[in-house]
């Protein structure tokens, strides 16, 4: 059977994409392959995905998705030179399409993607940008992959660093908030398991409401913030402590770091 897609890198993101593509029926398990050089991780993936080819070496394919660390891109691209793929999709943070194109055969189509970790549960957010040789068909094909595990938006490549700062790193901001909420619940007398459940379901419910209601975040916040009430007391403190400013600075720092990784 034809190898429809080869995922280079069997880490959490690579596996999440593989699992999502299988679950969504984007491709049959045997139509994809995963390249993972770490022996223990390779064996783990082989045990879980018995119908998919899991290899330590790069295999023949026309379409590759690079789910690897930025510093490994040059070496991997040199290997791909021998294969001359039609399309290379990269999720390596900060590495530009121009840089990737420079390592590949002339006029190879390259698409750069910034996904986030909720792809693991089919609720990811990904932004994609085309390189100088990528066609609309290449973008559509890439979108079909990421749509299998979440939502997709097409942006200009110079916006991907900001995407990284906002949504790529974004889940960690929510997880940090969850840590703080659980700790505060315990400090105020709740059992740790109760505080944990309250926090998880509150964040899940609020996120679902934000996603599905079609109402702006500020309107939703206002709807649960009664004058002189409990929520108002909390929001007032956060505003006085420049919570919004801190979030803006944090996202700017992540955006700048993405730019540095690509330089």
If one counts the domains in the chain, the total is: 2
Place of tokens 């509150």: 202
In this prediction, residue 102 carries a pLDDT of: 93
pLDDT digit string, tens, across residues 102-142: 999 988 999 999 999 898 888 999 999 999 999 999 999 99
In this prediction, residue 93 carries a pLDDT of: 83
pLDDT digit string, tens, across residues 16-63: 899 988 988 888 999 999 999 999 999 999 999 999 999 999 988 999
d(C-alpha 74, C-alpha 104), whole Å? 9
Largest CA distance in the chain: 68
- Domain end among 157, 186, 219: 157
| Domain coverage including residue 111 | 5-157
d(C-alpha 27, C-alpha 7), whole Å? 13
CB 79 within 8 A of CB 245: no
Predicted TM-score of the model (pTM)? 0.88
d(C-alpha 201, C-alpha 109), whole Å? 43
pLDDT digit string, tens, across residues 172-197: 999 999 999 999 999 999 999 999 99
Question: Could you tell me the two tokens for 185?
Answer: 């619940």
Strand partners, 127: 114, 153
pLDDT digit string, tens, across residues 1-24: 557 899 999 998 899 899 988 988
pLDDT digit string, tens, across residues 84-94: 899 999 998 88
One domain, residues 74 and 127: yes
Q: Is residue 120 part of a domain?
A: yes
Give the CATH number of the domain where residue 205 resides.
1.10.3730.10
d(C-alpha 84, C-alpha 70), whole Å? 21
Q: Is residue 226 part of a domain?
A: yes
- Domain end among 127, 157, 187: 157
One domain, residues 9 and 110: yes
One domain, residues 150 and 46: yes
One domain, residues 50 and 101: yes
d(C-alpha 38, C-alpha 40), whole Å? 6
Question: Could you tell me the two tokens for 21?
Answer: 């593509």
One domain, residues 220 and 123: no
Q: Is residue 163 part of a domain?
A: no
Average pLDDT, the chain: 93
Q: What angle do CA 172, 35, 76 make, to 5 degrees?
A: 85
Q: What angle do CA 174, 175, 180 make, to 5 degrees?
A: 95
Contacts of 55 (CB under 8 A, 6+ apart): 33, 34, 35, 36, 42
């Amino acid at each position: 059977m034809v190898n429809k897609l080869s995922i280079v890198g069997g880490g959490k993101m690579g596996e999440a994409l593989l699992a999502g593509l299988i679950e969504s029926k984007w491709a049959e398990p045997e139509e994809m392959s995963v390249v993972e050089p770490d022996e223990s991780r390779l064996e783990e993936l082989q045990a879980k995905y018995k119908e998919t080819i899991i290899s330590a070496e790069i295999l023949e394919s026309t379409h590759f998705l690079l789910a690897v660390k930025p510093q490994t891109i040059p070496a991997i691209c040199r290997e791909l030179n021998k294969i001359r793929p039609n399309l290379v999709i990269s999720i390596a943070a900060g590495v530009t399409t121009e840089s990737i194109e420079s390592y590949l055969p002339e006029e190879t189509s390259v698409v750069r993607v910034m996904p986030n970790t909720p792809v693991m549960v089919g609720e990811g957010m990904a932004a994609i940008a085309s390189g100088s040789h990528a066609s609309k068909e290449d973008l559509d094909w890439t979108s079909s992959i990421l749509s299998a595990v979440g939502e997709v938006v097409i942006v200009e490549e110079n916006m991907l660093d900001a995407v990284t700062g906002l949504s790529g790193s974004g889940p960690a901001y929510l997880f940090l908030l969850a840590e703080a909420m659980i700790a505060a619940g315990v400090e105020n007398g709740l059992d740790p398991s109760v505080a944990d459940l309250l926090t998880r379901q509150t964040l899940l419910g609020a996120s679902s409401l934000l996603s599905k209601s079609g109402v702006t975040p500020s309107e939703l916040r206002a709807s649960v913030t009664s004058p002189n009430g409990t929520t108002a007391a909390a929001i007032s403190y956060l505003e006085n402590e420049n919570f919004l400013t801190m979030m803006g600075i944090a996202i700017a720092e992540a955006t700048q770091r993405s730019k540095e990784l690509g330089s």
